[in-house]
Amino acid sequence: MTDTLQIRPEAAAAPKPAIPLPTAAARAVTAAGAVLTAAAAFLSWTYSSQFPGDLTVTGYPGGLQWITFTGGLLTLLYLLVGYGTPGLRGLAPGGAEGTTVILAVGAAATTWFTLIAISVELGGLANLTTGGWIAGIASLLAVVGALGLPRDGQHPRGHGLGVLLYPGKRPDLRPARPLHAAVEVVAVLLTLAAALGVFAYGVDTSYPELFAGFLILAGFAAWALNRSGDFGRLGEIMQRHRVLASVGAFVAAGLFPFTQTSSNAEANANLGVSILIFAATALGLNIVVGLAGLLDLGYVAFLGVGAYTAALVSGAAGTAFNVQIPFWAAALLGAAVSGIFGVLLGAPTLRVRGDYLAIVTLGFGEIFRIVVQNLDGTSGPNVTNGAIGISNVPDLNIFGFDFGSAHDFGPFSIGRFANYFELMLLFTAIIVLVFARSADSRIGRAWVAIREDETAATAMGINGFRFKLLAFALGATLAGLAGTVFVHVNYSIVPDTFQFAGPTPPNSAFLLAAVVIGGMGTVSGPLVGASLFFLLQAKLSFLHDYQLLLFGITLILFMRFRPEGIIPNRRRQLEFHESQTEGGQEGPTPELRTAEA
């Protein structure tokens, strides 16, 4: 830290708080605001129970009030951390003040979002009761207090989005001394449990307002935890307990269907399995794009190849071949056929300039759809039943376990989609394993080397063409594998599913965005990206018409302002900001040197 400050004189002068308040007063105001915000969640905010979630009840929070309640509590928590409360001090290694500001703003944002949503939907501010106004004012009070808190130092030079920089950047902390092993294990388990809880809550939100409120707070909280350095610390701990963390993550994910007990359980499990399918597919694409640096714009076609292959051998009526082979064979077949298509497409194109691949794959994506549409018996031989597609794909039955019906496990009833969820989770685990292990191996290093500088890579003895083809074919194979489950989950398959861009996933633009915005070259990036995008389109259906537009704009903005994605790969982050550190040859920037130490 200190050398960073010395080298950057403009950061050395501790900046003043935005609102000049005595520290004690600022703390008191923030505390009062945060407590009141949380408490106001127990009041009635509106007269009418028309607004979803019923916010008319005094004494018990409903719907969005739970979110503002959480926001208030989190603000209070980090205020106490900053105050030096014993036992909490370690919670914000990177500084609590900036974190408190972010959380206070987040709590205010959810509160005012709720108030505005009530006013808009019910027709006017008159629909707010005193309770609502108290919550609104209290949340603003917390923000005012937080802006008066003494600032904790780390402020990058403000440019462009100055306001967003007020809370400061995430500090690059030196790795902390390991905690007691048992404490770390508990921390890992708690983190996983919390992640499962947050995810399950998000999936279970039953109306768009609640999901939006959830998303706002989740976004601010993630920012705050990153700013506070907690994510960094947790990352170190996870790294030390890698096996526990990854196995634990899959166990936690496997428990997801068991958290869904409401009447929406099946619908939520359906969301869950769809997320897994697209996340796994995106991860396959990440090998191609993130590791090998090849832009594949028709990737969804490989999902389609796998899906059609599985459908054709599933015994579904109306297909060309009336065969039914066991699912394990169908899955392998789908993956293999998809891989073969990958090779057929990659072999001629990967020899030439990298950019051409993008356009050839884009073409392939379109052609796949057209061909499948034409193989209908009129425009071509009947293989895929044309535009009508293949329907009535039978449910899987593996070792007598019928995926189509519900099964009871003790007190839990696990329905059809939940069955597929667990199956797809297994597939996802395989794909994660393939990705992680190949990335960290001779093969993965060759891919990254090719991405970095293909000429230098070949001069090191790497057969550029062969390794690019391998990445491309492996990506295709994994997508094909995901496709075989996809078709069974959905009962049916039609060509129009496989577009370059469309309002509903899967489509190539969606997958690419999941990878790029999630974080290229990382395991968790595409998983987070796919979950986020899938939930966004599933939950905020009122955005349906503007979804693609937002998509396009998001891509542009991310490339402009955060090209490394939500979850940056350390290498990638450096690579993308190369141009901003001028030249990049004269040595590390101070922060990086600190980070490497």
Partner 1 sequence: MTDTTTATVDNAPAPGTPLLQASNVVMRFGGLTAVNDVSLTVNSGEIIGLIGPNGAGKTTFFNCLTGLYVPTEGTVTYQGKTLPPKPHKVTQAGMARTFQNIRLFHNMTVLENVLVGRHTRTKEGLISAILRGPGYRREEAESRAKAMEYLDFVGLANKAGTLARNLPYGEQRKLEVARALASEPGLLLLDEPTAGMNPQETRATEELVFAVRDRGVAVLVIEHDMRFIFNLCDRVAVLVQGQKLVEGDAATVQGDERVVAAYLGTPYEGNADSTTPEENQ
Partner 2 sequence: MHELPQNLVNGLLLGATYGLIAVGYTIVYGIVQLINFAHGEIFMTGAFGALSVYLGLGSGTSMWIAIPLMLIGAIVTSTVIAVLTERLAYRPLRNAPRLAPLITAIGVSITLQQLVWGFYPSAKSPRVFPSLPGGPFHIGGVLIQSADIFVVVAAVISTLFLAYFVRSTRTGRAMQATAQDPDTAKLMGINTDRVIVIAFALGAGFAGIAGVAWGLRYGEIKFDMGFLTGLYAFTAAVLGGIGNIYGAMLGGLVLGLVQNLTAIYIADIPGMSQFSSQSWSSVWAFVILILVLMVRPQGLLGERVADRA
Is residue 426 part of the contact set for partner 1 (CB under 8 A)?
no
Q: What are phi and psi of 392, to 5 degrees?
A: 55, 40
The interface region with partner 2, picked from 100-108, 233-241, 275-283, 293-301 by CB under 8 A, is 293-301
Size of the site for partner 1 (CB under 8 A): 38
Tell me which of 178, 197, 377, 588 binds partner 1, using CB under 8 A: 588
348 binds partner 1 (CB under 8 A): no
How far is Cα 442 from Cα 289, in angstroms, rounded to an integer? 18
One residue of 220, 223, 278, 500 binding partner 2 per CB under 8 A: 500
Q: Across the strands, what pairs with 402?
A: 397
Q: Which of 102, 462, 481, 520 binds partner 1 (CB under 8 A)?
A: 462
- What tokens were used for 579? 């141009």
Say which entry of partner 1, partner 2, none residue 143 contacts (CB below 5 to 8 A, set by partner kind).
Answer: none
Among 146, 289, 478, 511, interactor with partner 2 by CB under 8 A = 289
3-class state of residue 414 by DSSP: strand
Q: Rounded to 5 degrees, what are φ and ψ at 390?
A: -105, 125
Considering only 119, 374, 391, 573, the residue that binds partner 2 (CB under 8 A) is: 374
Helix then strand then coil, in percent of the chain rounded to 5, is: 65, 5, 30
Q: How many CA atoms lie within 13 A of 181 on its CB side?
A: 2
Distance CA 94, CA 228 (A): 5
407 vs 445, beta carbon nearer partner 1 = 445
Q: Which of 344, 453, 549, 550 contacts partner 1 by CB under 8 A? A: 453
Structure-token pair, residue 153: 């130092």
Binders in 255-294 for partner 1, by CB under 8 A: none
Question: Which stretch in 204-212, 370-378, 386-394, 447-455 sits in contact with partner 1 by CB under 8 A?
Answer: 447-455
Which residues share a beta bridge with 453? none
**In this structure, how many other beta carbons lie within 10 angstroms of the beta carbon of residue 351?**
12
Query: Alpha-carbon distance 376 to 584, whole Å?
Result: 56
Residue whose CB is less far from partner 1, 161 or 243 = 243
Q: Is 445 in the site for partner 1 (CB under 8 A)?
A: yes
Please, which residue, 304 or 444, has the CB nearer to partner 1?
Answer: 444
C-alpha 109, offset from chain centre:
21
Q: What, of partner 1, partner 2, none, does residue 461 touch, CB below 5 to 8 Å by kind?
A: partner 1
- Quote the least distance from Cβ 53 to partner 1, whole Å: 47
Contact partner, 553, from partner 2, partner 1, none, Cβ < 5-8 Å per class: partner 2
SS3 for 489-505, per residue? HCCCECHHHCECCCCCC
From the list partner 2, partner 1, none, which binds 381 (C-beta under 5 to 8 Å, kind-based)?
partner 2
Position 444, amino acid? G
Dihedral angle computed from the Cα positions of residues 94, 98, 101 and 107, in that order, rounded to the nearest 10 degrees: -30
- 191's contact among partner 2, partner 1, none, with CB below 5 to 8 A by partner kind, is none
Q: Is the dihedral of CA 273, 277, 279, 283 positive or negative?
A: positive
CA distance 286 to 513: 11
Q: Does 596 bind partner 1 (CB under 8 A)?
A: yes
Which 574-593 positions form the footprint of partner 2 (CB under 8 A)?
Answer: 575-576, 578-579
* Residue 469 lies near partner 1 (rule: CB under 8 A): no
Q: Which is nearer to partner 1, 235 or 587 (CB)?
A: 587
With CB under 8 A as the contact rule, the residue among 516, 530, 535, 567 that binds partner 2 is 516
Cα 392 from Cα 385, distance rounded (Å): 13
Kind plus residue range of the DSSP H or E element containing 82: helix 64-83
Contact between 438 and partner 1 per CB under 8 A: yes
175: contact with partner 1 by CB under 8 A: no
Paired residues of 320 in beta bridges: none
Q: At closest approach, how far in Å is the CB of 526 from partner 1? A: 18
Binding segment for partner 2 (CB under 8 A), chosen from 103-111, 145-153, 261-269, 363-371, is 363-371
Q: What is the dihedral of CA 197, 203, 208, 212, to 10 degrees?
A: 50
d(CA 402, CA 169): 51
Beta partners for residue 507, in sequence order: 499
CB 555 to partner 2: min, Å: 3
448: contact with partner 1 by CB under 8 A? yes
Is residue 240 close enough to count as binding partner 1 by CB under 8 A? no
SS3 413: strand
Window 118-157: contact mask with partner 2 (x via CB under 8 A): ----------------------------------------
d(CA 281, CA 255): 22
Which of residues 143, 245, 331, 449 is near partner 1 by CB under 8 A? 449
Listed residue (4, 3, 175, 156) closest to 577, CA to CA? 156
Which of partner 2, partner 1, none sits in contact with 444, Cβ below 5 to 8 A by type?
Answer: partner 1
Please tell me whether residue 320 binds partner 2 under the rule CB under 8 A. no
Number of residues that bind partner 2 (CB under 8 A): 53
Furthest C-alpha separation in the chain: 81
CA distance 330 to 63: 44
H/E stretch holding 407: strand 407-409
DSSP annotation of 87 reads T
Tell me if 443 contacts partner 1 by CB under 8 A: yes
Of positions 446, 516, 530, 567, contacts partner 1 by CB under 8 A: 446
The reply to whether 460 sits near partner 1 by the rule CB under 8 A is yes
Task: Name the 3-class secondary structure at 156.
Answer: coil
Residues in the site for partner 1, rule: CB under 8 A? 433-434, 437-438, 441-446, 448-449, 452-453, 455-464, 470, 474, 571-572, 574-575, 578, 584-585, 587-588, 592-593, 596
Residues in the site for partner 2, rule: CB under 8 A? 289, 293, 295, 297, 345, 348-349, 351-356, 358-360, 362-364, 366-367, 370-371, 373-374, 379-381, 455, 459, 500-501, 509, 512, 516, 520, 545-546, 548-549, 551-556, 559-560, 563, 575-576, 578-579
